Amino acid sequence: MQNIIIAIDGYSACGKSTTAKLVAEKLGFTYIDTGAMYRAVTLYFLEHYISLDNPKEVSKALTNIHLSFQKTASSTNADMFLNGLNVEDEIRKMYISDQVSQVSALKDVRVAMVDQQQRMGKKKAIVMDGRDIGTHVFPQAELKIFMTAEMEIRAGRRQQELLEKGQLVPLTDVIDNIRKRDAIDTTRKESPLTKAEDAILVDTSHLTIEEQVDIVLHYATEVVTAKIKG
Ligand code: DC
């Protein structure tokens, strides 16, 4: 497959990451989970008691944050490392989900993350998922997918994911967290979550993961074929 950028945006818990990971694997592309980056920043801010209302504190903290994706013996995909420590499990916990949208709404945080994301995508051959990839990080991406799904289905999937990681969270709490994050992510001033005009809308409510992956692969093939034909 020719090197292209595949941007997958959409609401929380629509299956973006699972789909993006598998698509990347099939194409031999690199998968970049931008949500993990915002989660790692949130973990750092919480651990260092950074006040979100204090721009000086925030920008100083950002200079002390070094993020990288690294493969480990126990993981099939790269794990998120924060200042040399594997934080992959920690950043998936509910206390991070509860704060991440507030942190990712801050302009300085976004500027720093987008800069890293754009550098990671320089060589193309990436599948990147997030909220603003098609609209802001890579508006020139060859393929843009925007995922959505019904709330009950999203919450059920997220609850199951948490359970598989040993966290038993009531469905009402999961719904509450997703609703709050949707509200902040779609209304924030800095590059809010919105579908790019040229993104393909995929409702995953009644799709299996395999179907979601097939849809993205189908469009990727179409894009590449059109490119070759010129
Ligand atoms: O994909 P996720 O649920 O792990 O993302 C966590 C939060 O990070 C999400 O609620 C909003 C924020 N985020 C963002 O603002 N921009 C991105 N490109 C990715 C995530």
Q: Is the CB of 110 under 6 A from ligand 1?
A: no
Q: Is the CB of 97 under 6 A from ligand 1?
A: no
Kindly report the number of other CB atoms within 10 A of residue 110's CB atom: 20
Distance 132 CA to ligand 1 centre (A): 9
Q: Out of 65-79, 136-150, 159-173, pick the least confident.
A: 65-79
Task: Dump pLDDT digits (tens) for 48-61.
Answer: 999 999 999 999 99
pLDDT confidence band for 228 (50 / 70 / 90): confident
The pLDDT score that the predictor gives to residue 216 is: 98
Q: Is the CB of 79 under 6 A from ligand 1?
A: no
Nearest CA, atom 15, ligand 1? 104
The pLDDT score that the predictor gives to residue 192 is: 95
For residues 165 and 26, the answer to whether their CB atoms sit within 8 Å is no
For β-strands 200-203 and 143-148, DSSP reports them as: parallel
Nearest CA, atom 16, ligand 1? 131
DSSP 70: E
The pTM score is 0.95
Q: Is 219 exposed, middle or buried (0-12, 13-18, 19+ CB in 10 A)?
A: middle
pLDDT confidence band for 140 (50 / 70 / 90): very high
d(C-alpha 28, C-alpha 145), whole Å: 19
Q: Can you say how many angstroms the Cα of residue 8 is from the centroid of all Cα atoms in its chain?
A: 8
The pLDDT score that the predictor gives to residue 94 is: 92
Average pLDDT over residues 201-215: 97
Give the residue, out of 44, 96, 131, 188, with the most ligand 1 atoms within 8 A of its beta carbon, to mutate for a pocket test. 131
Distance 226 CA to ligand 1 centre (A): 31
Distance 225 CA to ligand 1 centre (A): 31
